[in-house]
């Protein structure tokens, strides 16, 4: 069996420890962290964000250890500077116009090209890379895995507030990101050459300088032999991160297994998958998603059970049954968005929401 190794990237909010507002001071944390974390800590466009990325992990157990270690490190580094750290897809009450942009030629070009669309993109996500046997198989897997993006997204929803308002969405992050070009569910590609021609055309016509400026919810990574899931909000707790990453790893492994046997899972059109993505953003784990095969609405827990059935024969091969089964606890306790909204309902105080998020970000470390 091919080794479906993993890598997880998390985008953390850097906060003033009193107001718990976003604080444009990530350079202090980056400078301190580079010494021993090297490439595992990175700056982002906004100075109130720090990205932490794991090494390549052989299995989900290693991924848990890495994610936990990196969270401990960022809390320590921030604490030394009198700052706090939070894991959420948006900040409930900070305003994008008050955030400083990191000086960097790459970000300068983005700002020059996209103006306020780039400046206002104050959102935080989790990306998961899963290794693939080769690009041909990777593209086939990407085409089919698109169907499961709304399922994973609903579980990750963790951005119900924006600029001091309750948005009515469980994930408002994707609505902000929709303003960018080349985002959302990717189209279907018939072959790697068709995919490469598309990317080359965009490069040739100065739309992008390389494939990294294609920001789809899932993509064949332009430089690594991985499929990269980019659909998720930044997730509150380590347990939730590890559960969703394990589900992603299992989906890739299962689709690879089917491909090796010349079997497949139906590939659905992007416009249909988009209907489910919209429902996931609006209602999260309370959504009814559409089962396109049966042409009917289905309650989200039913679809999760079907997903677990679908991947069941690879779960033990990958050694992640405990992690995958944590999804039942997630359904019971609600997503990060549900829990943020519950705190707000109880307190009517967005700062209390942030206190809760900070505490949850540390949970289990």
Instruction: Please check the confidence at residue 2 and state whether its pLDDT lies above 90.
Output: no
Alpha carbons 130 and 344: distance in angstroms, whole number: 36
Torsion of CA 335, 338, 343, 349, to 10 degrees: 110
The per-residue pLDDT for range 159-188, each reduced to its tens digit, is 999 999 999 999 999 999 999 999 999 999
The per-residue pLDDT for range 228-241, each reduced to its tens digit, is 999 999 999 999 99
Instruction: Please check the confidence at residue 266 and state whether its pLDDT lies above 90.
Output: no
Alpha carbons 126 and 231: distance in angstroms, whole number: 8
Calculate the average pLDDT of the chain: 95
Q: Which domains does the chain have, with CATH numbers?
A: 6-362 (3.30.590.20)
Alpha carbons 94 and 7: distance in angstroms, whole number: 30
Phi then psi for residue 183, to 5 deg, are -120, 175
Phi then psi for residue 3, to 5 deg, are -85, 110
The per-residue pLDDT for range 324-340, each reduced to its tens digit, is 999 999 999 999 999 99
- Would the pTM count as exceeding 0.85? yes
The pLDDT value recorded for residue 332 is: 98
Alpha carbons 255 and 362: distance in angstroms, whole number: 34
> For the residues 144-154, what does the mean pLDDT come to?
97
Alpha carbons 179 and 274: distance in angstroms, whole number: 16
Contacts made by residues 291-297, CB under 8 angstroms, sequence distance 24+: 292/266, 292/268, 293/266
The per-residue pLDDT for range 190-206, each reduced to its tens digit, is 999 999 999 999 999 99
Alpha carbons 142 and 219: distance in angstroms, whole number: 7
Instruction: Please check the confidence at residue 1 and state whether its pLDDT lies above 80.
Output: no
């Amino acid at each position: 069996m091919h080794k479906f190794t993993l890598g997880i990237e998390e985008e953390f909010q850097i906060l003033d420890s009193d107001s718990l507002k976003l604080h444009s001071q990530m350079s202090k944390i980056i400078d301190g962290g580079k010494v021993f974390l090297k490439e595992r800590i990175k700056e982002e466009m906004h100075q109130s964000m720090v990205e932490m990325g794991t090494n390549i992990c052989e299995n989900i157990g290693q991924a848990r250890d890495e994610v936990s270690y990196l969270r401990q490190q960022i809390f320590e580094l921030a604490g030394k500077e009198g700052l706090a750290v939070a894991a959420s897809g948006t900040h409930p009450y900070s305003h994008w116009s008050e955030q400083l942009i990191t000086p960097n030629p790459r970000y300068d070009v983005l700002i020059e090209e996209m103006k306020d669309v780039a400046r206002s993109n104050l959102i935080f996500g989790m990306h998961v890379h899963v290794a693939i046997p080769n690009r041909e198989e990777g593209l086939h897997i990407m085409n089919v895995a698109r169907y499961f993006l709304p399922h994973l997204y609903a579980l990750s929803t963790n951005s119900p507030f924006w600029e001091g308002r309750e948005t009515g969405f469980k994930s408002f992050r994707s609505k902000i990101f929709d303003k960018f070009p080349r985002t959302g569910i990717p189209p279907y590609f018939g072959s790697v050459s068709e995919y490469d021609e598309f990317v080359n055309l965009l490069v040739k016509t100065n739309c992008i300088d390389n494939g990294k400026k294609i920001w789809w919810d899932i993509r064949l990574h332009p430089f690594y032999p991985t499929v990269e899931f980019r659909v998720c909000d930044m997730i509150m707790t380590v347990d939730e991160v590890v559960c969703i990453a394990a589900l992603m790893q299992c989906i890739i492994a299962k689709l690879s297994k089917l491909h090796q046997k010349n079997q497949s899972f139906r590939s659905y059109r992007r416009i249909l998958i988009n209907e489910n993505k919209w429902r996931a953003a609006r209602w999260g784990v309370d959504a009814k998603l559409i089962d396109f095969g049966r042409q009917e609405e289905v309650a989200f827990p039913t679809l999760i059970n079907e997903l677990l059935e679908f991947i069941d024969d690879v779960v033990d091969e990958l050694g992640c049954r405990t992690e995958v089964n944590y999804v039942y606890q997630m359904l019971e306790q609600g997503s990060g968005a549900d829990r943020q909204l519950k705190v707000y309902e109880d307190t009517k105080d967005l700062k209390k929401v942030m206190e809760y998020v900070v505490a949850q970000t540390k949970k289990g470390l």
